Amino acid sequence: MTDVFTREKRSEIMSKIRSKGTGPELRVALALRRAGVHFRRHDARLPGTPDFVVTALNVAIFVNGCFWHSHGACGASARFSKGLGRRAKYWREKIAANRRRDRRARRALNKTGWRAMTIWECRTRWREQLDRELRRALLSRPAR
């Protein structure tokens, strides 16, 4: 499938995609506040610069976009991969690199005593489900 936009227009559109302050991130922040959890955002001192850091519990939370990090469970990666167009190879490599970077960050966090948690974009759409998932993840203790 060819792109309906010129290269310049597509570049402009892609440049507007944010990595901070996204809708899913804002919904997670609200859920953490509802749970009464104190957190910091985008702590660059930790590997991978987690979206949220709950220091009291040593938990680092990453909010991942289903397309950008290839979340197969919701089907977004399969749905989007069909429309990658003439740069399909580039996008497959980009997404694979994102996944490798995610794994490295999680391993580095775990080695330093942090629990890394991923919340997928699709899981932020329903308030009750998000609240339940956060409570379960924050209250559970890692096996030692």
- pTM, two decimals, is 0.79
The reply to whether 73 falls in a domain is yes
Tokens 């990658």 belong to residue:
84
Mean pLDDT of 12-17: 66
**Paired strand residues for 118:** 62
Residues with Cβ within 8 Å of 91's Cβ and at least 6 positions away in sequence, in order, are 81, 84
Kindly state the percentage of the chain with pLDDT values over 70.
Answer: 81
Cross-strand pairs, 53: 40, 60
The answer to whether residue 19 scores a pLDDT higher than 60 is yes
pLDDT digit string, tens, across residues 72-97: 777 665 666 666 677 778 888 988 99
Question: Is residue 1 domain-resident?
Answer: no
Residue 133 confidence (pLDDT): 86
Residue 96 lies in a domain: yes
Reported as a pLDDT band with limits 50, 70 and 90, residue 17 is low
| Distance (Å, whole) CA 135 – CA 10 | 40
The range of the structural domain enclosing residue 130 comes to 7-139
Q: Is 144 part of any domain?
A: no
Task: Give, in order, the Cα–Cα distances in Å from 28 to each of 5, 9, 17.
Answer: 33, 32, 19
Measured CA to CA in angstroms, residue 141 lies from 33, 104, 136 at distances of 20, 22, 10
In tens, the pLDDT along 22-53 reads: 888 999 999 999 999 999 999 999 999 999 99
CATH code for the domain in which residue 117 is found: 3.40.960.10
Q: What is the mean pLDDT of the chain?
A: 84
Q: Report yes or no on 19 lying in a domain.
A: yes
Counted domains in the chain: 1
Q: Given a cut of 50, is residue 11 above it in pLDDT?
A: yes
Look up residue 4 and give its DSSP letter. Answer: S
pLDDT band at 144 (very low <50, low <70, confident <90, very high): very low
% of the chain surpassing 90 pLDDT = 47
